[in-house]
Structure 1
């Protein structure tokens, strides 16, 4: 490719990080003015705000009747690990991993909980494991969207409606941007910092009736830290799912989460949020179609994430470099875009193949994605030309 001309137009918002993600359009610190700071989260005003986050989230996602939704510590990681530590044990476990976070859940199951009746179904970055091989007599742990690979599940058809095990789903970069079939799921987790652009450290844990039944009938063989305990006297601690959080939440973050939820409702609800994210992916797809150097890390079009959009460099010249050189080139490209103020934090995740990762969740404007893409051509062309000249 020849070096592209430096673009004139710039993204209005250059924040394309995959977490914490871009704030919603029009956000300013003024939205936090009514936060009950300096008040106890257990006071009536605090509990009301926390309960409102739960109620609005459940309504926006269309959480079915009989599901519980709670705010828990430590972001999506805390929510998912609460589920693993509390629910696993009575059955064998299947863990699906096709990127770093799924691999992390496998570490929890195999090395921390040391479950012997467990199986890991893996796939390399860019692919999915063989979903037809999953044993639904076991509890199954999986991500819906691989945040670090840009590979998502195409649907829930592979999940057995007659399963006897639990379907435990990490949906942190899918919730509010991709359809989730709650009839096929038993546990769903996410965090505030992804699709709605909230602040970090707070997780959401949704439990279906079968998960609640497991909690009330099963006592784990291992000790449970206080922040993981969801039952009292063998019964579900319902307070957790009414705003009585286990640890102390930030009321500033709670206010910000409410602002994101209200914006999502005003933008048209779940269908509109999904549409906004899909439009962002579509813009990148049009650009990739014409590109001679960039492609998707996801091998199948139906598994391309619309939120964590991961790009690979397909230029044969780039492929001929060592991996260390490739990572250096990508680092230089990302640094050049940051120096220009047109894109922040778009390098691939450290464990992923060298490439780019652009957040395309609902808070990102498609116009900003479209403005960014010519800058990628410019930066790659410049880095390549400089590297060749120096060789």
Structure 2
């Protein structure tokens, strides 16, 4: 048998002797902040009207603390909205698009999801699509026309490919930049002045609960809401403007619909943790250290590589890996998916790592969440277990 098919090249068949203390590596909802306990939520404003001053004060605190910790520029308006990041970005698309032409950047599942909204649901006529031809690549961002509105994810959660900073976005753009930032905010350095709409959820970098989204609007986006009224009906949960003006109370803790005050208490705990460890800068550094740990392993590994083709675009949160072992590459797509499912099952059975399978739209491989709520020491303990599970899979296939 050739050395390329040798299971020993993928790792030992002897199980590692140490497990991660917290083996949760799902890409959303993600692991809670270190030290989190259910008792932390004892102060939740439950069984009460959330519009009571005490309930609204908690909602307002989520908004003001998030803005302060992120360092949002002066004049940016921030609100809690329904429907997680999906609700937040769809709210932006339905309220703001149609005034100018639209440019949509797509290189993984969620970019294509917003494209479907824009083309099939909003049915906008002037849409230019910048499409990557494969997972792992970016489209040519130099071709984006910023005289139009531009919609893009900062980080492709299902591909592990992020934009290489914001230099490609001009300061003097005519259109709005609408950024799905859910797996980048609090985890990647971002120049918010280049972004007119920023959306995210609590369930990524903060380890919060799902169902609630955040939307930040620049003064230019607020101006658009006052000067442009879309020729379409808007569902109630999308209505953030009225009579040509922003509904200011929504951006002051008076949410559009009933929020979960248990989830609100949970994210307040996450924001406290963020402040205690050093703020957003330290959360970004924690995520970067996690990526560095995986990068060292990838560099020394004979059978895995990053799915992202350009090192500048490798995500530090949704770390997506492809398998480049000859035995794996000889399998059909269905067999590769089964191989990965078996590998992930081995890890879960041992309590070494949970939810490491790729997104259903992505190529067969692994996806490891490296956001700031993950401890680097746990990641470092996970990686030998992946080596063991991969070698065990090869052995099971008969590569002796």
For this structure pair, what is the TM-score category when the shorter chain's length is used for normalisation? over 0.9
For residues 140 and 233 of structure 1, the distance between their equivalents in structure 2, rounded to whole angstroms, comes to 26
Q: CA deviation at 1:120?
A: 1.0
Query: Do residues 177 (structure 1) and 187 (structure 2) align?
Result: yes
Query: Do residues 342 (structure 1) and 344 (structure 2) align?
Result: no
Match of residue 360 from structure 1: 370
RMSD: 0.9
Q: CA deviation at 1:389?
A: 5.5
Cα deviation code 1:113-168 (max 9, x no counterpart) = 11110011111210111000000010000000000000001110000111000000
The aligned runs of 1:224-373 (5 Å cut-off) are 224-373=234-383
Match of residue 130 from structure 1: 140
Partner secondary structure for residue 46 of structure 1: helix
Query: Do residues 158 (structure 1) and 152 (structure 2) align?
Result: no
**What runs of 5+ residues in structure 2 fail to find an aligned partner?**
1-6
Q: CA deviation at 1:8?
A: 0.4
Match of residue 230 from structure 2: 220
For residues 292 and 182 of structure 1, the distance between their equivalents in structure 2, rounded to whole angstroms, comes to 39
For residues 70 and 106 of structure 2, the distance between their equivalents in structure 1, rounded to whole angstroms, comes to 25
TM-score normalised according to structure 2 size: 0.97
Q: CA deviation at 1:271?
A: 1.0
For residues 304 and 168 of structure 1, the distance between their equivalents in structure 2, rounded to whole angstroms, comes to 21
Given candidates 185, 188, 213, the residue that maps to 1:203 is 213
Given candidates 23, 26, 29, the residue that maps to 1:17 is 26
Match of residue 38 from structure 1: 47
Q: CA deviation at 1:388?
A: 2.4
Query: Do residues 144 (structure 1) and 154 (structure 2) align?
Result: yes
TM-score normalised according to structure 1 size: 0.99
Cα deviation code 1:331-359 (max 9, x no counterpart) = 00001101111111010000000000000
For residues 205 and 289 of structure 2, the distance between their equivalents in structure 1, rounded to whole angstroms, comes to 14
Cα deviation code 1:58-85 (max 9, x no counterpart) = 0010001100000000000000000000
Q: CA deviation at 1:21?
A: 0.2
Query: Do residues 72 (structure 1) and 81 (structure 2) align?
Result: yes
Match of residue 49 from structure 1: 58
Cα deviation code 1:40-62 (max 9, x no counterpart) = 11001110000000000000100
For residues 217 and 229 of structure 1, the distance between their equivalents in structure 2, rounded to whole angstroms, comes to 15
Match of residue 104 from structure 1: 113
Cα deviation code 1:217-262 (max 9, x no counterpart) = 1111111001101112211100110000001001100000000000
Partner secondary structure for residue 120 of structure 1: strand
For residues 61 and 151 of structure 1, the distance between their equivalents in structure 2, rounded to whole angstroms, comes to 22
Q: CA deviation at 1:381?
A: 0.3
**What runs of 5+ residues in structure 1 fail to find an aligned partner?**
none
How many equivalent pairs are there? Answer: 390
Match of residue 29 from structure 1: 38
Q: CA deviation at 1:273?
A: 0.5
Partner secondary structure for residue 398 of structure 2: helix
Q: CA deviation at 1:214?
A: 0.4
Partner secondary structure for residue 291 of structure 2: helix
Given candidates 84, 101, 104, the residue that maps to 1:92 is 101
